[in-house]
Amino acid sequence: MKRCPRIIPVVRACMLGTLVLGTAPARGETPGLSARTDIVRQFLTRPEGTVPLAQATRGTHEFTLEVHRIQTEIVPGVQVEQWAFGFPGQPASVPGPELRVKVGERVQITLVNTHDQPHVLHLHGITSLAQEMDGVPHLSHEVRPGGTFTYEFVATEAGTHAYHCHFQTNVHLDMGMYGALIVEEPDQIPIWSKEHTLILDEWDSRHDGAKLPYTPQYDAFLVNGRAHPLIPELKIPSGETHLVRFIHMGALPHSLHLHGTSFLVIAKDGHDLPLPYLADTLPILPGERYDVLVRGRDGTFP
């Protein structure tokens, strides 16, 4: 389960000390590694806090999400009840529909609560939004059954993020109320020819998560809502480079291993890593996102 130490900032100005790289020289710092200085300086000067909606440089991108109770076969022969996001007029699903927006757009996501429980929409990883758009009970709006609320923010940085309900999180998130939220850079040709989003989760197929008390004993590991052997195959043709976006919306640490190839880990939590690294096993903990490049090869590797 995700744990949040409460960080409660208050508007107040403050003089920073002289820019000194902490205690770097005495702590194993590499002389000449000026990239370190650059990264820290960049962090200290990047915009922080709410980006006013008027600062959008592109048009408005609107989505509407409803909430439905559905029955899904997550393991062959195992049907579970889920609370699922869906576009109006389309079947709801776990994960909910992927929302894709572009840097510069003003994003409007209207949550129409067609369910019998209160819900919110937390935009996991989006930092340009105002507090009332953060989708956390008590600090922003709760959307009661029959109610609606429109979450708005300006997309400012490309990256892999997620949305999920944050109301009684351990229950609502576990019931399947999550989906991917991808922010794309509009003016660049990516180095990958195709991309895939894989959302990880676990399920206790023997227990209805809506029945309290809820202390799950997970027995199914889900990728995009399905457990093996219902997980669809991911095909990467030889000669192609694909981007795989991993999003962990579950509660347990996982270790993802690919056969027959090593991948390049290029981003974590929607931020490019300063230096990508090669690996064939990716540890991922709840709430994390990783972008990895995978190149196709001959043969079929499970």
Residues 225-244 that bind a second copy (CB under 8 A): 231-241, 244
d(CA 109, CA 130): 14
Residue 35 makes contact with a second copy by CB under 8 A: yes
φ, ψ of residue 44 to 5 degrees: the values are -70, -20
Query: Is residue 57 a contact point for a second copy (CB under 8 A)?
Result: no
* Residue 207 in contact with a second copy, rule: CB under 8 A: no
* Residue 58: partners with Cβ closer than 8 Å, 6 or more residues away: 102, 103, 104, 105, 106, 186
115 vs 226 by CB, closer to a second copy: 226
Q: What values do phi and psi take at 36, rounded to 5?
A: -60, -45
Residue window 237-276: x/- pattern of binding to a second copy, with contact defined by CB under 8 A: xxxxx--x--------xxxxxxxxxx-x-xxxxxxxxxxx
283 scored as a contact of a second copy (CB under 8 A) = yes
- Complex with a second copy: residue 90 or 259, whichever CB lies closer: 259
What part of residues 100-139 is at the interface with a second copy (CB under 8 A)? Answer: 103, 122, 124-125, 127, 129-131, 134, 136, 139
The dihedral over CA atoms of 97, 102, 103, 104, expressed in degrees to the nearest 10, equals -110
Task: Looking at residues 157 to 196 of the shown chain, list those that interact with a second copy (rule: CB under 8 A).
Answer: 157-159, 184-185, 188-193
Pairing verdict, β 122-124 and 159-164: antiparallel
Closest CA to 39 of 214, 275, 212: 275
Show contacts with a second copy in window 68-87 (CB under 8 A). Answer: none
d(CA 297, CA 285): 28
Nearer to a second copy, 52 or 89 (CB): 52
> Is residue 213 a contact residue for a second copy (CB under 8 A)?
no
